[in-house]
Structure 1
Amino acid sequence: MIPRIKPLNFLSLQRKILVGGVLAVLLSARVRLSSQESSYYIKVPSLMSETEDLSCLLKTFDPLVANTVTCGSLCEGHEMCFGFCLVGSNSTEIRLDSNTKSLFLSEHRCALYSTSISLSWKGSKVVEGKCYSRWAHPRDLALKATATGNSYSTDYPASYAIDGYYCKQTTQEGTCFWSENAKNSWWLADLGDFHPVSSIRVRLYRSTTSYFRDIEVKVGNRSSEGDFSSFEFLARSSGEEVSSVVITLKAKNPLVGRFVSIQTLVSNFLVLCEVQILPATVTVH
């Protein structure tokens, strides 16, 4: 059984929500749920794949009123939450795999996940209900891109960084691109056409965040394998180690190009679990 965990600091909000039988929500404007590009959460098919275990299910809550606003607010309060599923009035099944046990979430619960889901991922029917991702972005240029890189193994290809799904937290196995441990390790996205690029957003594997330093991002017009001297500079990370699993690098001015490169300037691995490439006039949340 998944334990019922009562949010300790959420009781006062629950009392404010029910006023004379009318739902009155007084929460931050950051908790927005729609299909518009200004949204903080985007509806997705699911937040688990059929091959995943429950390592990406962070917590479940059964607040007095479970809706997209209360579940979104709970996700906002968890450092590793990148999405949630709102379980409806009918019980919802989560399969551990196709051959073994099943677990059930009872009605009216918020299930929080650490999964990063993009709109390019078609999802699975492991979780029936309304699921929302705070990672997905409707104008992400990487949704239709292809990728190459100096991967150290065919088990960790460049395409994994834009496959639209990342979940694993406890092992290095999973859908991440891993480069060779070398100076100028690189990853390159082909956007298929010319676009104005303003920023990139990267989801990192938790135990490799220290690798993401002295990283340079460029935009170019011609494909290249490792030599991006003809590309224009977009942004760069500092030489200091980072601890966050999400890094955003923004340009001072957008650049127009078809190819976007990410390259290390020191000898190191380049590990990218999910990459978003965002055009100009887009708000990075």
Structure 2
Amino acid sequence: MAQETYYKVLAQAKQTLDQQGIAFDDLMYVFLQRQNWTQTDYLVQQQQIMPAAVQQQLEQDIAALAKHVPPQYIVHQAWFYGRPFYVDDRVLIPQYDTENLVAWVLADFPENKALRVLDIGTGSGVLAVTLKLARPNWQVMATDISSAALTVAERNAKALGAQVAFRQGDLLAPVVGQRFDIIVSNPPYISRREKAVMDASVLEYEPHLALFAENNGLSFYQRFFKTVAPYLTFAGTFYLEFGFQQKAALKKLTTQLLPRAEIAFRQDLAGQDRLLRGKIISEESR
């Protein structure tokens, strides 16, 4: 194996990836995570000779990317709200836009008062863990139908020092008889009809249980809106993420199933409506 600089090896790798239609940014993400470097670290080191072991690992990572393995799964790490979370194919890769949901909750509840919070379909635990770390006095519980996903979430909570209670089960079944001040969820909302336009890496590697929902992706919301009221405190609020084409359908569902709820929507950075906040204002929520 010829000794070459970091810059030259990565430049050659870029040519290979370009020919295969694979984003060079994905390789750089993997490379920097493996080296525990920032982009600045790389710029400082780019004219140094790349060690043979690093080059060998790079070749293995290129081969994995060529098979459409997501870069976050290759290094088992994804960043969310400024923190590293462990991820593998038991959970979805957290997306940057979901940070907007966290920001909305924290803006609405700026004080560190003792509140009860529930995260439904926690996956890797990013919502529950991030909210707990931001508001240590909150009592946070997280549920998921997948025991495999909960194993990952528990690992992240422990690694990041967040005291979160985890429960396995579908929707609200694990918390029957309990009430919460805040409920959050980034549920499955993709219609199976959308498979044709989805990235191969998502379809091949990310868990379909956490991606797809029946009834054109609306199944979770239909069930949630029908059953959530008894699980909220009098002033309880829920926050949900949804697909960029689902706002109209969700407005119709909330009108039908939660007619006395106060509903608000918020856009993502691309200007798409992606978040919903709801508060039931009738006495029926008590």
**What TM-score do you get using the length of structure 2 for normalisation?**
0.31
Structure possessing the higher radius of gyration over alpha carbons: 2
Higher helix share: 2
Higher relative CO (Cα under 8 Å, sequence separation at least 6) belongs to 1
Higher strand share: 1
